[in-house]
Amino acid sequence: MNTGKSGELVNQIAEIDAFDRTECIDCWREMFGRSPPKYLSPQFMKRVLIWEAQNRVLGGVSVKTTRRLKQIAAGETVATIAKPGSHLVREWNGRTYQVEVKGSGFVMDGKSWRSLSALAKHITGAHWSGPRFFGVK
Angle (CA) 43 45 47, round 5°:
70
Cα separation, 115 vs 102, in Å, equals 11
DSSP 38: T
pLDDT attached to residue 30: 96
pLDDT of residue 79: 55
pLDDT at 97: 93
pLDDT at 1: 47
Distance between CA atoms of residues 16 and 135, nearest Å = 47
Task: Output the pLDDT for position 78.
Answer: 53
Distance CA 75, CA 15 (A): 36
Neighbours of 81 (CB within 10 A): 17
What is residue 137's predicted lDDT score, i.e. its pLDDT? 64
Predicted confidence at residue 19, as pLDDT, reads 97
* Domain assignments of the chain as residue spans, ordered by start: 4-60, 87-134
Residues of the chain with pLDDT under 50: 1
The whole-model pTM stands at 0.48
